[in-house]
Structure 1
Amino acid sequence: MTTADSVKRKRKFSTGILYLLPALILFTVFLFYPMFRTLYLSFFLTNPKGDPVLFNGFQNYIELFHSKEFLLSLKSSFLFVLCTVIPTIIIALFLAVIANEKLKGSQFFRVAFSSSLGVSSAAAAVIWLFLFDPSIGLTNHILSLFGVQEIGWVTDKHWALFSISVTTIWMHLGFNFIILLGGLQSISEDLYESSKIDGANFFQQFRNITIPMLSPTLFFVTVVAVINSFQSFGQIDIMTKGGPAGATNLIVYSIYQDAFANHYVGSASAQAMILFAIILIFTLLQFKFGERKVHYQ
């Protein structure tokens, strides 16, 4: 390589860095610095202001894994993810398949099915809190018509996590529906026409054409849905405050409580790093095992 070529490459590299500099600054300020600061604080005892006062190594992590409250929070978080991710994707896929059919009025249903995308978590929580109200809520009123006793949807520890899960499913439905509908519309009609000539029915088309061709989109929404479920906060804060009896005290809400209510910033930072590790592991596992079944065109 000549000196002129080397100088030219350095100029191109410098130019590229200059174009990337605004994004790098934003990432550093709002992503990299907070992440490393959180990791740093997780090894310290802190004062109420969040300043480190005493280095205690891995003691914050050890105490967390000996804490019944934290272990219950972990268990509730995993159960919550299981109860929200799978139903959300199945329902969104079902609605997307229906909306993708060339039927009269399908445009209206596409708007209706995706409407939850424009609702904030706070508004959604208030809507469902009203629906789950023990005295004037619509759900208990419908149950009473069938002679079913009233249920404390957000006050009973056996039902609170289910209620939060239902709210979260509805909140995430619009996003997943739009993504899956876009994936369905990208599948060539020629494939379906050819299968009809061969005598394939709807279910055979769905199993042998729709699912394989939609697999990249399904893989994407699954990864995003898992991450979003682990990070759910707004609906929990408004509907249950982590109760009753810690039934909905998911790890994100536990981090919030320790950091801003109890002022245990060191413990909260340790929980945040554990949550980061959990999400990272789940994402890597999905890429390692889930991507094998993805059919790229």
Structure 2
Amino acid sequence: MPSTTARSGNAGDSAPRPRNRKRHRPREILLGMVFCIPALAGLGTFVFFPLVQALFLSTRGTDINGNPSRSVGGQNFAQLFTPEFGTVLLHTLFFTLFVVAAGVVLPMALAVPLAQRLPGMRVFRTLFTLPFAYSASAASVVWLLMLDPSMSPVNWLLELLGMDAPGWTTESPWALLTVAWATVWVASGFNLLVLGAGLAGVDEDVLEAARLDGATGLRSFFSVVLPMISPSVFFVVVTTTLTSLQALGQVQVMTDGGPNGSTSTLVFSIYHNAFENGNNNYGLASAQGLVLLVVGIVLAAIQFGVVERRVHYR
């Protein structure tokens, strides 16, 4: 009996003891902080420092040499409460809504037939996605050549139909639309790739079950396909919104903000006040940049707070 007790005691002594994780916790925390340093450095350099700099410059005025050396308080923000800046905001809002709507609907209309396994679809898919490889400046030059009065195929078609071609980049009602369509053309290539990938992931069994239930054509698309690719659609909406808010090269190359400021968007106005024609009005440009930040935050809050609720993640 004593020997049994001794053996059991020895067995208990030889059993492995649980490791004390508290000894390794400081090391793990330090290692985690080391891995966070590159990301924090990037955020500090490209996000927080420019934001603080913009807040500082928005309260400064420039001297005769263009240096932001004097404090002006809130005068730069007071200049934003003018009809001219209100017009710039309206241009930006219209431009963004148009580019997002057309930049999502048109690629979707192209992605559905291109997703079919038919001969030659790969060639058409490649052709339609080529604009994604263009820079904003190159795409703008293509559109200027396409709409040039001396060689425009669009104007030639309108003349065949007995219609007068408008001044695409020189008349106020058409200039902003022309720049917006050029932006849609550039953004559509990327959007087509994303939406096409989403359509490729639609389960054929689900579509077949929907057909057996009588859902065909548009009903099948809106009731079955669209909910299944809603994450891709939401991603395209967000990225296209960012593209439209940041559109600068198209406006510079095609219209330079004209005619009479009819294509002046918020980001173009920021660039114009800060760098063009020797303005060097960094304070006003910084104040406008903060407004652009607020606009972006509001649109993001609407998209992620309202639109994302309709997204069906599988």
Interval containing the TM-score (normalised by the shorter chain)? over 0.9
Q: 2:52 aligns with which of 36, 45, 59?
A: 36
TM-score normalized by the length of structure 2:
0.89
Query: In structure 1, the residue corresponding to 2:173 is in which secondary structure?
Result: coil
Deviations 1:205-231 (A, max 9, x none): 101111111111111111111121011
Residue type of the alignment partner of 2:299: F
1:134 and 1:151 in contact (8 A); partners too: no
CA distance in structure 2 between the partners assigned to 1:89 and 1:9 by the alignment:
49
CA distance in structure 2 between the partners assigned to 1:221 and 1:48 by the alignment:
45
CA distance in structure 2 between the partners assigned to 1:120 and 1:37 by the alignment:
29
The CA RMSD over aligned residues, in Å, is 1.8
Residue type of the alignment partner of 1:142: L
Please report how far the alpha carbon of residue 40 of structure 1 lies from its aligned counterpart in structure 2 after TM superposition.
1.5
CA distance in structure 2 between the partners assigned to 1:98 and 1:196 by the alignment:
18
Note the 1:110-121 alignment, pairs <5 A.
Answer: 110-121=125-136
TM-score normalized by the length of structure 1:
0.94
Note the 1:143-154 alignment, pairs <5 A.
Answer: 143-154=158-169
If you compute each CA radius of gyration, which structure gives the higher value, 1 or 2? 2
Please report how far the alpha carbon of residue 199 of structure 1 lies from its aligned counterpart in structure 2 after TM superposition.
3.0
CA distance in structure 2 between the partners assigned to 1:226 and 1:7 by the alignment:
49
Deviations 1:39-74 (A, max 9, x none): 2111221336664322233221111112x3221111
1:184 correspondence with 2:199: yes
1:172 corresponds to which residue? 187
1:194 correspondence with 2:209: yes
Note the 1:232-271 alignment, pairs <5 A.
Answer: 232-261=247-276, 262-271=279-288
Q: 2:236 aligns with which of 212, 221, 226?
A: 221
1:48 and 1:263 in contact (8 A); partners too: no
1:69 and 1:246 in contact (8 A); partners too: no
CA distance in structure 2 between the partners assigned to 1:226 and 1:73 by the alignment:
17
Please report how far the alpha carbon of residue 192 of structure 1 lies from its aligned counterpart in structure 2 after TM superposition.
0.7
Q: 2:303 aligns with which of 279, 286, 289?
A: 286
CA distance in structure 2 between the partners assigned to 1:117 and 1:148 by the alignment:
32
The number of residue pairs the alignment matches comes to 295
Q: Quick check: 23-32 or 107-116, which moved more?
A: 23-32
Deviations 1:110-161 (A, max 9, x none): 1112111111111100000111112322221221111211311001111100
CA separation of 1:198/1:132 partners in 2, compared to 1, >3 Å: closer, same or farther?
same
Which ranges in structure 2 are unaligned for 5 or more consecutive residues? Answer: 1-19
Deviations 1:155-207 (A, max 9, x none): 11111001101111101000111111111111211101212222321222101
